[in-house]
Amino acid sequence: MRALAPYLQALPLALVFATFFLVPVSLVVVVSFFDYQTYQVLIPDFVFFNYVDVFTSNVTYRTYLNTLKFCLLTWAITLILGFTIAYFLAFEIRSVPLQIFCFLLCTIPFWTSNVIRMIAWIPFLGRNGLVNETLLAWGVIDAPIDWLLYSDFTVVLGYVHLYTLFMIVPIFNSMLRIDPALLEAARDQGASAFQVLTNVVIPLAKPGIAIGSIFVVAIVMGDFVTVNVLGGGQIASVGKTIATELSYLQFPPAAANAVVLLGVTILMILALIRIVDIRKEL
């Protein structure tokens, strides 16, 4: 009975993942080889034309390039910003209650609606939004700036706004484990502040950096919501392509696109995972 206990305890979790994760994701691969028609959305078959469509279309490459661009920009900005905030929280605030308060202050928006947080940019950045009105009133510009809303800029801004926290938390967690005596020792040996940062803090915060990066990369690669709300109609991303195909009930081509997206994302994550064993970091 005691030997059986862990299996029974893990069973509910395993069942949920089997039913709603493993089977569905495998089905995506299967369905990507299916045929489809207007009135029958899934016809079991083994055809390759869904993939041929994906790989022979110029739109695909442009979409991937655009998505990778978003990914790289967001990754770089959230990393630098997240690292800076985490450093401030971990090393510059010395009272623990204040540290907890500031950490919670950063975390609370994460628990509110992402959709609302995206929509909230519209009165700021629109043609008649706060930024344009202010700049016009100050005489900085003569005509409203159009690219503030519904542009690449807005999409990346939205990502940074929503997902910097995914960098802050793991990096902060790694930094809290750095013994302050190490920093002191480095300083005593004559290391400059910059040398302490590059030779002590960054190497020891690497696991957190890797975990945060995995999160950000995975989210941005598959996103279609932010691109829809803040990108307007013109901006493309892989996730949006899939979502659009699905809105026309074109399951097989959407599945083929999803398999390719998954492949690319997994390659990116594998590169990041080589740096860190996630389980040891908790």
Partner 1 sequence: MGERRSASFYLLLAVFTLFVLFIYGPILTIVVLSFQGPTGGLVFPMRGVSLHWFAELFRPQSIGDIGGAFQRSLALGLITMVLTVLFSFLAGLAFRRRFRGATLLFYIAIASLIMPSIVVSLGIGAAFELLGMPRNWYGSALGAHLTWTLPFGLLIMFAVFNRFNPAYEEAARDQGASGWQTIRHVVLPIVAPSLLGVALFSFTLSYDEVARSSQATGFENTLPLELLAMQTNATTPVIYALGTLTTALSFIVIVTTITGVLWLRRRAARPRTR
Name beta bridge partners: 35.
43
- The interface region with partner 1, picked from 20-28, 137-145, 183-191, 198-206 by CB under 8 A, is 20-28
Q: Is 22 in the site for partner 1 (CB under 8 A)?
A: yes
- The interface region with partner 1, picked from 22-30, 50-58, 69-77, 178-186 by CB under 8 A, is 22-30
Q: Is 164 in the site for partner 1 (CB under 8 A)?
A: yes
Q: Are 170 and 208 in contact (CB under 8 A)?
A: yes
* Phi, psi dihedral angles at 105 (to 5 degrees): -55, -40
Which 186-215 residues touch partner 1, going by CB under 8 A? 193, 214-215
Q: Is 138 in the site for partner 1 (CB under 8 A)?
A: no
- Closer residue to partner 1, CB minimum distance, 45 or 133: 133
Among 5, 137, 143, 267, binds partner 1 (CB under 8 A): 5
Structure tokens at 170: 């793991």
Q: Is 55 in the site for partner 1 (CB under 8 A)?
A: no
The least CB distance from residue 48 to partner 1, in Å, is: 18
Among 42, 47, 79, 178, binds partner 1 (CB under 8 A): 42
- Closer residue to partner 1, CB minimum distance, 204 or 273: 273
- The closest alpha carbon to 221, from 28, 71, 54, belongs to 71
- Position of tokens 């992402």? 114
Residues 65-104: x/- map of binding to partner 1 (CB under 8 A)?
Answer: ----------------x--xx-xxx--x-xx------x-x
Q: Is 27 in the site for partner 1 (CB under 8 A)?
A: yes
Q: Is 144 in the site for partner 1 (CB under 8 A)?
A: no
Q: Is 37 in the site for partner 1 (CB under 8 A)?
A: no
Q: Are 91 and 187 in contact (CB under 8 A)?
A: no
